[in-house]
Amino acid sequence: MSDTPSRHVGRTGVWLVGARGSVATTAVVGAAAVSGGFVPPTGMVSQLPEFAHSGLPALDDLVFGGHDVTDTPLSKRAEQLAEAGVFPAALLPLVVDALRAADADIRTGTTGEPGGPTQAETAASLIDDLTSFRQRHRLDQVVVVDVSSTEPLPVLRPAHQQLDTLEEALASGDATLPPSSLYAYAALRARCGYVGFTPSPGVRLPALRELAEAQGLPYAGSDAKTGETLIRTALAPVFAHRALRVRSWSGTNLLGGGDGATLADPAAAASKNASKRSGLDALLGEQVEGLTHIDNVPSMGERKTAWDHVDFQGFLGAPMTLQFTWQGWDSALAAPLVLDLVRFLARARQAGATGPQRQLGFFFKDPIADHIAPDHRLVIQFEELRAWYAGAVR
Amino acid sequence: MSDTPSRHVGRTGVWLVGARGSVATTAVVGAAAVSGGFVPPTGMVSQLPEFAHSGLPALDDLVFGGHDVTDTPLSKRAEQLAEAGVFPAALLPLVVDALRAADADIRTGTTGEPGGPTQAETAASLIDDLTSFRQRHRLDQVVVVDVSSTEPLPVLRPAHQQLDTLEEALASGDATLPPSSLYAYAALRARCGYVGFTPSPGVRLPALRELAEAQGLPYAGSDAKTGETLIRTALAPVFAHRALRVRSWSGTNLLGGGDGATLADPAAAASKNASKRSGLDALLGEQVEGLTHIDNVPSMGERKTAWDHVDFQGFLGAPMTLQFTWQGWDSALAAPLVLDLVRFLARARQAGATGPQRQLGFFFKDPIADHIAPDHRLVIQFEELRAWYAGAVR
Amino acid sequence: MSDTPSRHVGRTGVWLVGARGSVATTAVVGAAAVSGGFVPPTGMVSQLPEFAHSGLPALDDLVFGGHDVTDTPLSKRAEQLAEAGVFPAALLPLVVDALRAADADIRTGTTGEPGGPTQAETAASLIDDLTSFRQRHRLDQVVVVDVSSTEPLPVLRPAHQQLDTLEEALASGDATLPPSSLYAYAALRARCGYVGFTPSPGVRLPALRELAEAQGLPYAGSDAKTGETLIRTALAPVFAHRALRVRSWSGTNLLGGGDGATLADPAAAASKNASKRSGLDALLGEQVEGLTHIDNVPSMGERKTAWDHVDFQGFLGAPMTLQFTWQGWDSALAAPLVLDLVRFLARARQAGATGPQRQLGFFFKDPIADHIAPDHRLVIQFEELRAWYAGAVR
Amino acid sequence: MSDTPSRHVGRTGVWLVGARGSVATTAVVGAAAVSGGFVPPTGMVSQLPEFAHSGLPALDDLVFGGHDVTDTPLSKRAEQLAEAGVFPAALLPLVVDALRAADADIRTGTTGEPGGPTQAETAASLIDDLTSFRQRHRLDQVVVVDVSSTEPLPVLRPAHQQLDTLEEALASGDATLPPSSLYAYAALRARCGYVGFTPSPGVRLPALRELAEAQGLPYAGSDAKTGETLIRTALAPVFAHRALRVRSWSGTNLLGGGDGATLADPAAAASKNASKRSGLDALLGEQVEGLTHIDNVPSMGERKTAWDHVDFQGFLGAPMTLQFTWQGWDSALAAPLVLDLVRFLARARQAGATGPQRQLGFFFKDPIADHIAPDHRLVIQFEELRAWYAGAVR
């Protein structure tokens, strides 16, 4: 990374944990398709006129690599996604070089299965992958983004609380970290910014946040809001600001694809649900009745449908309801945000920012807070992002 | 009105044009029920903790009167509304005195039918009703709120453009003003603040805005957002801020009651639709395809149902949709806002404000602008209201 | 019961297991309100013109009694239901006598808690209640209807398979029967027809079906279809008959009230879900993906909302969807069917019918079959009922 | 056509009026794709097991031709439809021969514009096209199907009432027939069966029905039910048979494509709406409140979305609602029914049937009645079709 700050971030590495998944593949396809001018930048926040004064790394300055534990070629995954309807098959020949290039920079990751190398050994290997990637491509900086499968809620352990305790545990061969946090550890040790795109713990453990500060690195997370929660954080203020009393807020999500299968596991779903629910309670100022279901429906493929039912009272107790149905494509909703987050985080780092990046709360269900509680209102989050950008590119 | 500013607004008159309609009746019932402690202040913005530092007229310092062209007693209307389900019949005996008191202060209004007195004569009579009301009850001030039936879009005439031309026209016996604007004229001449709760022209004519400035009076409008548009102004920023491209936004409203019947008239519906659509186009930054229907379904009674369908594109052109269904009670949605608007406008006047009250844009589909274009985003509008209040009660 | 068959069924007892519940109370209120001419017979199938040639017991020839384990007076329950919005409070004074009369004929039932009398002793007591009721009111016949809370799926035991084994088990003091089946046993022993209105096992155990045949008694069940399943059995034929391939059928039910609380118990919900799902699979000719949730949302009170999402393929694989939202009042949907079932079953018995009454499949999610598999299509079920009636009243 | 009846219908011509439209093109693509075994016969009623005892013309015995007034090649239209998402582009190379073959049998039709040849001359030309087609391909019979744009409701004239008056009018050069009826006239004169797939008058004029009888030809119509009405005729019996009182039934249809543009014309929409509404009123036994909108939303392309809202009362007047949203692809819904109708009508003709084919009411919004009023209930219509088939193939 260059030592002297400049107005523009140069070549930036995007290191995707889960690099052969749907979101990662769509991100690589999309970056190439948009920067090649084959499609408009629909869905990319960082391409809005509000962020056009530059200062962000150019789309064609992004270099993709990552870790994964499968070995399906990206071109094969891209074909599957096109067939599933996520993007037009006609795009494939136009982005084949980009897919091949990213493929060449994907390394075998870790699942944390017992019986293998120690976590310290694994971390060393991951760090090596990251530094080699940066040197090989002469990158200004690298941002690591976790887009792998959601993990169960972690069992918190003392080694998660403090950096020195963590280092001791690792040194002693203890497998203390959940996989997402082991990746985050490696990212920070390799001097990379970090984005937790899923509800997995990742960088959220206090010991890792301490490490980020020590390394002078910015990070952001967690759990990108792409559908039901996105709409919830836009709608909940209606009730709060109009003094309408929400009695129950219930939701059902139907999805197939990898995410559907992962979330069919009750432990992973619990992790997701905690993340989904927290913002809603904060927005409404109280816990309201209602469950949120996440159903795995394999035949839905990459499609994602959410139905929400809000039962509320108005003046003089009048019973009223609001329902919405959201129908989208999971990867098409998530992938552009990966690109946005990398670009904004790279800019933040270049501007000298460290620690949790509050202005990126706009993208997350459960924003990692600094000392002020996050505002979950989507419009306020957007204004915070815009204000930060206006200051950062000044 | 008292000459010396004080921290508290005292007894405040609420003069309702359309005083025997559903919204007016529910407002009177509700003010009594809430100030009597019989129901919580659900649905009242001005009772939120954000506005608790006082400075607003107390609910039991509101005195109700108004104009109407029918003579159904308020207690009868209230019974009909209770039977229709707007509020519990058990409330009726508790508010019967309040209804009787308001009834005694309702005067016969004007429909603007040709062949009667001139508009100048009518205005004089309306002004007299207002000043008598203020004196009779020793009110600090009176706010006139138009909650009467929506008028067709007016044919604009030269006399609407300038105050002196308007006065000449009135003096010559010309029936130049649409009824809502004749009421607004009378309100301003009687030194009352004015709220345009419907899409009718009311105070919007340039000649009347000139009159308000001349009289040093504040006003606000127009067309309270209570359902479909309320949700639209909360949802549209999702698309704008996430760079999602809305292809079409279609809506259907089903409603009975008086409002349904009024809006079954294509001319009145055109007025409503222009008001509904303007904010959406502003929020999305372009005109998108899609119609908005308002269907009169008499058997729906006071219930109001809106279905909206938004078709949009995401990353790489992925087609997605959002639908919502809103089910509410028309008068229960509107009535608390009448009380809110009166309280906030009275406070603004006491603080010396004149002209259009931008901070009340939160309540309207089509906020009357000052020199800066209105921001239609609900959350921003709320923050503008909160910031104004914080300053006003300082 | 009269020995000579006649064209008309006379005074008929309606014995409700769960007589103080919402459904039972609404049935008593409704029978009185309709037979008194205070409301039209909306929602009552047996009052359709198709069934007007008489032969059914008149509504004011129904005499209500039942078992329950709580002692809330019916008038109190009725007030609660009126307040919850199930029916207008104005009906209450008009039906107060009917409620009082039914109250006087409610006896304490059994919950099957261990440590009390043996099942044989309990059965004897229940039988005694039934025969006393019949004699006290000189009834032609009595129909027992189980409207009590849904039980978990029973553990099947040998004593459930054959009548003589069952009698031996009871004689030996064995608590072999689930509560609903103990009531069914008593009903049949007391020579009463039986209707299983819930998914509880009731008369479905083979030993009890054998008893019904031995006693020459008709019965019907189980699990009245009142909402989501009602609509499903109307819609599923669209897909089957139009050769559209359903890929998934998902549903979420939100309900409060007693039913919501009961079904929050996973064991009871399993019982309900098995009942709900069976018809759908039969109608579609295969098991399709998709879950059906039943969420307890206490603040919904007596309201019940179901959302269903059907994902299907059309010609050349085109992906399409159908969604529906059903919003109703639980007891108002169920109660008229109680009256219908009693009237039709009484008529069937008078016409000499014994065993499962196929023609009543129209009313049930999971019709108790005779030797031919039930047809779940709602319209066909209606035609079966109509054809039977036309024959029965000939 | 062969003189001796046989068990199997042989080579059958499918003559499509509007042969270059979306529905026609999809039908040609689909017939080739299904008969080639490239896709399963999803969406084709005539391929259900219920109709497997043969007697219907085989799919690969169908020969396609037709009239149209545009000259876009079918292969071009097919590409557009694939791009719009109606079927996978991968099908195109597999059906290219079938498209080319049909293309070669499409002739220029008539729009009925004034100033050209007389209707008698046009009819002669159309008849010549039909007989040439039959002879050229040695077809057993030809079925003409009108899939062209919906016409406005016709102005009825005396010449429409009786065949001899009609012939006189034509002979005199009078342009008496709406275009769809001129095609129907030619079809019948050329001894072809006729299917009215749209709400246009076609064969419905009494003079043409007389002609069909005189020629001994069967016909069916009109206005295929493919979406909203399909669901309505499945759902309305729920209310009728459960004695639930529908207060209003409202609907909004959003569609683009050619159909959307056509129905944006209020005159054509009136025609469609009359057709849509008739069945609903018949099913409910009364006219209920509520409008049905058909909105042209060009950006929806081939997609079609319908939202319906049913407001109804249950027991004791309890207010309840049912809403549904249907999302489909217009041509994919319609095209298989074209194939079904041709196959069933061809079979009916071979079995000697003439006049309106009641058993095909299953396919239509507004079935052409024989002397008994049509039953609009979808399930009953299916059973009528099945019973007829069982008899016809005996």
- Looking at beta carbons, which residues of chain B come within 8 Å of A324? 322-325
Output the pLDDT for position D165: 97
Whether B12-224+332-392 shares its CATH topology with B228-329 is answered no
Q: Compute the average pLDDT of residues D76-96.
A: 95
Going through chain D in order, the beta strands assigned E by DSSP cover 12-17, 62-68, 106-108, 141-146, 193-196, 218-221, 245-255, 292-296, 303-313, 319-329, 355-356
Comparing alpha-carbon positions, the chain D residue that sits nearest to B319 is: D300
- Looking at beta carbons, which residues of chain C come within 8 Å of A250? 252, 254, 295, 297
User: Do the Cβ atoms of C226 and C279 come closer than 8 Å?
Assistant: no
Is the per-residue pLDDT at B6 higher than 50?
no
With CB atoms and an 8 Å threshold, state whether D300 touches B325.
no
With CB atoms and an 8 Å threshold, state whether A316 touches B325.
no
- Asked if the C-beta of D38 comes within 8 angstroms of chain C's C-beta atoms, the answer is no
Is the per-residue pLDDT at D332 higher than 80?
yes
- Looking at beta carbons, which residues of chain D come within 8 Å of B307? 252, 307, 309, 323
Output the average pLDDT for chain C.
93
Nearest residue, CB atoms, C322 vs list D86, D237, D326: D326
ipTM of the complex: 0.95
Is the per-residue pLDDT at D102 higher than 50?
yes
For the segment D277-322, what is each residue's pLDDT rounded down to a tens digit? 878 999 999 999 999 999 999 999 999 999 999 999 999 999 999 9
Comparing alpha-carbon positions, the chain C residue that sits nearest to A295 is: C291
Interface test with B, best of D299, D307, D308, D326 (most B CBs within 10 A): D299
Q: What is the DSSP letter of A390?
A: H
Output the pLDDT for position A277: 80
Interface test with C, best of D91, D225, D229, D315 (most C CBs within 10 A): D315
Here the tokens at position A170 are 């690792």
Mean pLDDT is lowest, of A54-58, A87-91, A258-262, A329-333, for: A258-262
Output the pLDDT for position A330: 93
Report which of C162, C144, C174, C178 is spatially closest to residue C210, judged by C-alpha positions: C162
For the segment C17-38, what is each residue's pLDDT rounded down to a tens digit? 999 999 999 999 999 999 999 9
Residue C363: phi, psi to the nearest 5? -95, -5
Contact residues, A window 292-321, toward C, CB-based 8 Å cutoff? 293, 295, 297-300, 303, 305, 307, 309, 311, 319, 321
Output the pLDDT for position C109: 92
User: Do the Cβ atoms of C260 and C297 come closer than 8 Å?
Assistant: yes
Give the CATH number of domain D228-329; options: 3.30.565.10, 3.30.360.10, 3.40.710.10, 2.60.40.10. 3.30.360.10
Beta partners for residue C389, in sequence order = none
Q: Helix crossing, B378-392 with A228-241: angle to 10°?
A: 30
Report which of D212, D189, D217 is spatially closest to residue D353, judged by C-alpha positions: D217
Output the pLDDT for position B203: 97
Residue D124 CB partners (closer than 8 Å, separation 6+) = none
Here the tokens at position C261 are 């609380």
Residue B52 CB partners (closer than 8 Å, separation 6+) = none
Nearest residue, CB atoms, A289 vs list C252, C290, C299: C299
Nearest residue, CB atoms, D235 vs list C47, C86, C235: C235
Interface test with C, best of A228, A252, A323 (most C CBs within 10 A): A252
Q: Helix crossing, A378-392 with B228-241: angle to 10°?
A: 30
For the segment B106-118, what is each residue's pLDDT rounded down to a tens digit? 999 987 777 889 9
* Structure confidence at residue A7 as a pLDDT band (50, 70, 90): low
- Asked if the C-beta of A287 comes within 8 angstroms of chain C's C-beta atoms, the answer is no
For the segment A275-297, what is each residue's pLDDT rounded down to a tens digit? 778 789 999 999 999 999 999 99
Mean pLDDT is lowest, of B266-275, B327-336, C72-81, C244-253, for: B266-275
Output the pLDDT for position A1: 37
Q: In what order do the strands lie in the sheet with C62-68?
A: C106-108, C62-68, C12-17, C141-146, C193-196, C218-221, C355-356
Beta-carbon neighbour count of residue D228 at 10 Å? 24
Residue C263: phi, psi to the nearest 5? -80, -5
- Asked if the C-beta of A130 comes within 8 angstroms of chain C's C-beta atoms, the answer is no
Contact residues, A window 335-354, toward B, CB-based 8 Å cutoff? 335-336
Residue-wise burial string across C312-339, b where 16 or more C-beta atoms lie within 10 A, e elsewhere: bbbbbbbbbbbbbbbbbbbbbbbbbbbb
Is the per-residue pLDDT at A265 higher than 60?
yes
Output the pLDDT for position B111: 75
For the segment B32-58, what is each residue's pLDDT rounded down to a tens digit? 999 999 999 999 999 999 998 778 999
For the segment D58-76, what is each residue's pLDDT rounded down to a tens digit? 999 999 999 999 999 999 9
Residue B276, CB-side half-sphere exposure with 13 Å CA sphere: 25
Q: Indicate the residue type of B132.
A: S
Query: What distance in Å separates the CA atoms of residue A141 and residue A195, rounded to the nearest whole number?
Result: 14
- Asked if the C-beta of C6 comes within 8 angstroms of chain D's C-beta atoms, the answer is no
* Structure confidence at residue D2 as a pLDDT band (50, 70, 90): very low
Query: CATH says A12-224+332-392 is which class?
Result: alpha beta
Q: Which chains are adjacent to chain C, needing at least 3 Cβ pairs under 8 Å?
A: A, D
Q: Which residue has the higher pLDDT, D271 or A6?
A: D271
Contact residues, B window 355-374, toward A, CB-based 8 Å cutoff? 362
With CB atoms and an 8 Å threshold, state whether B316 touches A44.
no
Report which of C113, C111, C146, C109 is spatially closest to residue C129, judged by C-alpha positions: C109
- Asked if the C-beta of B137 comes within 8 angstroms of chain D's C-beta atoms, the answer is no
With CB atoms and an 8 Å threshold, state whether C332 touches D315.
yes
Q: How far is D241 from chain B (nearest CA, A)?
A: 22
Residue A283: phi, psi to the nearest 5? -70, -35
Mean pLDDT is lowest, of C189-203, D188-202, D258-272, for: D258-272
User: Do the Cβ atoms of A205 and A183 come closer than 8 Å?
Assistant: no
- Asked if the C-beta of D379 comes within 8 angstroms of chain C's C-beta atoms, the answer is yes
- Asked if the C-beta of A29 comes within 8 angstroms of chain B's C-beta atoms, the answer is yes
- Asked if the C-beta of B87 comes within 8 angstroms of chain A's C-beta atoms, the answer is yes
For the segment C87-108, what is each residue's pLDDT rounded down to a tens digit? 999 999 999 999 999 999 999 9
| H or E segment to which residue A333 belongs | helix A330-350
Which string of DSSP letters, residue by residue, matches D183-230?
HHHHHHHTT-EEEE-SSS-GGGSHHHHHHHHHHT-EEEES-B--SHHH
Q: Compute the average pLDDT of residues A126-152.
A: 97
Query: What distance in Å separates the CA atoms of residue D189 and residue A360, rounded to the nearest whole number?
Result: 73
Query: What distance in Å separates the CA atoms of residue C383 and residue C138, rounded to the nearest whole number?
Result: 34
Query: What distance in Å separates the CA atoms of residue C177 and residue D67, rounded to the nearest whole number?
Result: 72
Q: Compute the average pLDDT of residues A47-73.
A: 94
Q: Indicate the residue type of B295.
A: D
Output the pLDDT for position B4: 41
* Structure confidence at residue D393 as a pLDDT band (50, 70, 90): low
For the segment D113-159, what is each residue's pLDDT rounded down to a tens digit? 778 899 999 999 999 999 999 999 999 999 999 999 999 888 889 99
Would you list the domain boundaries of chain A?
12-224+332-392, 228-329
| Residue the block writes with tokens 């760090």 | A127
Is the per-residue pLDDT at A267 higher than 90?
no
Report which of D244, D226, D250 is spatially closest to residue D285, judged by C-alpha positions: D244
Burial of D287 (0-12, 13-18, 19+ CB in 10 A): exposed
- Asked if the C-beta of C329 comes within 8 angstroms of chain D's C-beta atoms, the answer is yes
- Asked if the C-beta of D175 comes within 8 angstroms of chain B's C-beta atoms, the answer is no
Residue-wise burial string across A141-170, b where 16 or more C-beta atoms lie within 10 A, e elsewhere: bbbbbbbbbbbbbbeebebbeebeebeebb
Is the per-residue pLDDT at D6 higher than 60?
no
- Asked if the C-beta of B43 comes within 8 angstroms of chain A's C-beta atoms, the answer is yes
Q: How far is A280 from chain C (nearest CA, A)?
A: 17
Output the pLDDT for position D127: 98
Output the pLDDT for position B31: 98
Output the average pLDDT for chain B.
93
Output the pLDDT for position B268: 76
Query: What distance in Å separates the CA atoms of residue B289 and residue C298, rounded to the nearest whole number?
Result: 41
Query: What distance in Å separates the CA atoms of residue B237 and residue B283, rounded to the nearest whole number?
Result: 7
Is the per-residue pLDDT at C172 higher than 80?
yes
* Structure confidence at residue C393 as a pLDDT band (50, 70, 90): low
Output the average pLDDT for chain D.
93
Q: How far is CA C168 from the centre of its chain?
A: 29
- Looking at beta carbons, which residues of chain B come within 8 Å of A320? 326-329, 332-333
Residue B342 CB partners (closer than 8 Å, separation 6+) = B12, B14, B57, B62, B143, B145, B195
For the segment D231-280, what is each residue's pLDDT rounded down to a tens digit? 999 999 999 999 999 999 999 999 998 777 787 777 777 777 777 787 89
Output the pLDDT for position A5: 42
Interface test with B, best of D246, D252, D292 (most B CBs within 10 A): D252
Contact residues, C window 207-266, toward D, CB-based 8 Å cutoff? 230-231, 234-235, 237-238, 241-245
- Asked if the C-beta of D290 comes within 8 angstroms of chain B's C-beta atoms, the answer is yes
For the segment A319-366, what is each residue's pLDDT rounded down to a tens digit? 999 999 999 999 999 999 999 999 999 999 999 999 999 999 999 999
Query: Collapsing DSSP states into helix, strand and coil, what is residue B178?
Result: coil
Report which of B62, B360, B17 is spatially closest to residue B220, judged by C-alpha positions: B360
Q: How many interface pairs between B and D have CB atoms less than 8 angstroms apart?
A: 69
For the segment D353-364, what is each residue's pLDDT rounded down to a tens digit? 999 999 999 999
Q: Which residue has the higher pLDDT, B3 or C252?
A: C252
* Structure confidence at residue C5 as a pLDDT band (50, 70, 90): very low
Cα Rg, chain A, nearest whole Å: 21
Is the per-residue pLDDT at D7 higher than 70?
no
Output the pLDDT for position B80: 96
For the segment B273-301, what is each residue's pLDDT rounded down to a tens digit? 777 787 899 999 999 999 999 999 999 99
Query: What distance in Å separates the CA atoms of residue A92 and residue A79, rounded to the nearest whole number?
Result: 7
| H or E segment to which residue A107 belongs | strand A106-108
Is the per-residue pLDDT at B263 higher than 90?
no
Comparing alpha-carbon positions, the chain C residue that sits nearest to D225 is: C242
Report which of A171, A165, A173, A198 is spatially closest to residue A184, judged by C-alpha positions: A198
- Looking at beta carbons, which residues of chain C come within 8 Å of D336? 243, 314-315
Output the average pLDDT for chain A.
93
- Asked if the C-beta of A91 comes within 8 angstroms of chain B's C-beta atoms, the answer is yes
User: Do the Cβ atoms of C325 and A323 come closer than 8 Å?
Assistant: yes
Mean pLDDT is lowest, of A82-86, A144-148, C382-386, for: A82-86
Q: How far is C299 from chain A (nearest CA, A)?
A: 6
Output the pLDDT for position D253: 96
Q: Compute the average pLDDT of residues D25-33.
A: 98
Q: What is the DSSP letter of D366?
A: S
* Structure confidence at residue A393 as a pLDDT band (50, 70, 90): low
Query: Does the bond joining C222 to the residue before it have cis omega, within 30 degrees of 0?
Result: yes
Report which of B233, B387, B245, B276 is spatially closest to residue A235, judged by C-alpha positions: B233
* Structure confidence at residue B219 as a pLDDT band (50, 70, 90): very high
- Looking at beta carbons, which residues of chain A come within 8 Å of B246? none
pTM over the 0.80 mark: yes
- Asked if the C-beta of C182 comes within 8 angstroms of chain D's C-beta atoms, the answer is no
Q: How far is A3 from chain B (nearest CA, A)?
A: 33
Is the per-residue pLDDT at C53 higher than 90?
no
